[in-house]
Chain A
Amino acid sequence: GQQLNQSPQSMFIQEGEDVSMNCTSSSIFNTWLWYKQDPGEGPVLLIALYKAGELTSNGRLTAQFGITRKDSFLNISASIPSDVGIYFCALSNDYKLSFGAGTTVTVRA
């Protein structure tokens, strides 16, 4: 699979905070995807990006496809408790996906 570096590995959120995470790849790709996995469930697609520089929103989530086509960012605005879970970036290579290691989001006590 492709080398994907996702950071941070984990983060704590407080309700109302804005948080962000990012992914970088070793190669250029045409499609970046962001998935979320709730505990005990399979991943669900949040946002798909198909063009360098593209900025796409899905509710409080915003993702950007980097100009270099080697990176992507996901921002969550005004966090709420149900934002906890694992967020994965993924690259599409033809019809196969390569996933990053994930960012685990936890609510700060």
Chain B
Amino acid sequence: NAGVTQTPKFRILKIGQSMTLQCTQDMNHNYMYWYRQDPGMGLKLIYYSVGAGITDKGEVPNGYNVSRSTTEDFPLRLELAAPSQTSVYFCASSPGRGRAASTDTQYFGPGTRLTVL
């Protein structure tokens, strides 16, 4: 199992450009999450999904969009990049309700470091 994979690892965007951060998990997890990590601020939840076709906003959703057409993939879209979106983005997944493992065990990808200039 590769676990949670994210692409790209690094990206530099110009203000106003758009891009999609890719996230894939091969653990057949129902729940998937997107976080951003800013220095000294911990991780903030952007969006999450409890299953294919279901998404919901987290703590800091403005400027982002997500979709969940399959169990495996949960891409994050930035439509009009702004300097405030410079951050490290982490995707995570967890088994979900009714599974043997606790839903609290979230498995994280290696992150995408995004700079908006």
Contact = CB atoms under 8 A, between A and B. Distances in A.
Contacts of A4: 42
Interface string B82-116: 00000000101010110000111110111100000
A40 B110 contact: yes
Given A44-B108, A45-B105, A45-B106, A95 B43 contact: no
Contacts of B44: 1, 99
Interface in B28-75: 31, 33, 40-45, 48, 50, 58-59
Contacts of B41: 101
A33 interface: yes
Which of under 10, 10 to 19, 20 to 34, or 35 or more describes the interface residues of B? Answer: 20 to 34
Q: Is the interface of B mostly helix, strand, loop or mixed?
A: loop
Given A9-B40, A95-B96, A42 B108 contact: yes
Given A33-B104, A95-B31, A42 B90 contact: yes
Contacts of A100: 42
B45 A1 contact: yes
A42 B59 CA distance: 19
B48 A96 contact: yes
Contact of B43 (A9, A40, A88): A88
A45 B93 CA distance: 12
25 contacts: A1-B45, A41-B110, A42-B4, A42-B90, A42-B111, A43-B108, A45-B104, A45-B105, A45-B106, A88-B43, A92-B103, A92-B104, A95-B48, A95-B94, A95-B97, A95-B103, A96-B48, A96-B58, A97-B104, A97-B106, A98-B59, A99-B42, A99-B43, A102-B40, A102-B42
Interface of B: 4, 31, 33, 40-45, 48, 50, 58-59, 90, 92, 94, 96-97, 102-106, 108-111
Interface of A: 1, 4, 6, 9, 31, 33, 40-45, 48, 88, 92, 95-102
